[in-house]
Amino acid sequence: MDQCPGCAYGDLDLSPDVFESITGQSYTKLSIEWKFVDCPISNKVQYCLKTGSSEFWVAVQPANFVSGVESLSINGQETSLIDSAYYFLIDGSGESVADLSSVRVSMTGVNGEVLEETLSLTADECTEGSSQFSSSVDASQTTITPTKPSRITSATSTEELRVSPSESL
């Protein structure tokens, strides 16, 4: 979620307290390197259905995933990401969009991997799927170089951050 609309793509904006705890310096701009790393998850992805969801309005929050989520579709229809809550939403505007007892979910990870599930979902509950994104072959050796903005949810993904305090911008 973009909390720093004035920042360039790939920049990180930290609170002054977090910045000081990481760098030992007062809040300033520094040259940094960062990369996404896989979360140490061993269970399957969970699909949490937001309170108030129905056959006409479905909001799904994926959880417990190894790497970031790029997009999610429900019954073949693209969803919109609600950044403030990390829910993927499809609003039928009065038309039925899903029988909640049999929802086809297709989720694409930031690495391009696609998970497909057919699930029975209940509002205000999480349902465990039958799959999980693959772990990177060697996440510690892969640095992500931002090339274009993406819709990355990070409810469970983590970032590794290296700061070079001597290189002020």
In a domain, 120, yes or no: yes
In a domain, 35, yes or no: no
Tokens 């040259």 sit at which residue?
Answer: 31
- Is the residue at 81 inside a domain? yes
> pLDDT digits over 9-24, tens only?
777 778 888 888 988 8
pLDDT tier, 90 (very low <50, low <70, confident <90, very high otherwise):
very high
What's the order of all strands across the beta sheet hosting 103-109?
A: 77-78, 69-74, 103-109, 114-119
pLDDT tens, 41-88?
Answer: 889 999 999 999 999 999 999 999 998 899 999 999 999 998 777 899
Question: Are the beta carbons of 47 and 98 closer than 8 angstroms?
Answer: no
User: What would the mean pLDDT of 100-112 be, rounded to a whole number?
Assistant: 94
pTM (predicted TM-score): 0.68
Output the pLDDT for position 154: 41
d(CA 77, CA 55): 14
Average pLDDT over residues 117-136: 94
Question: How far is Cα 15 from Cα 18, in angstroms, rounded to an integer?
Answer: 5
Q: Based on the structure, what is the number of domains in the chain?
A: 1
Structural domain harbouring 105: 46-128
Q: What is the CATH number of the domain that holds 108?
A: 2.60.40.760
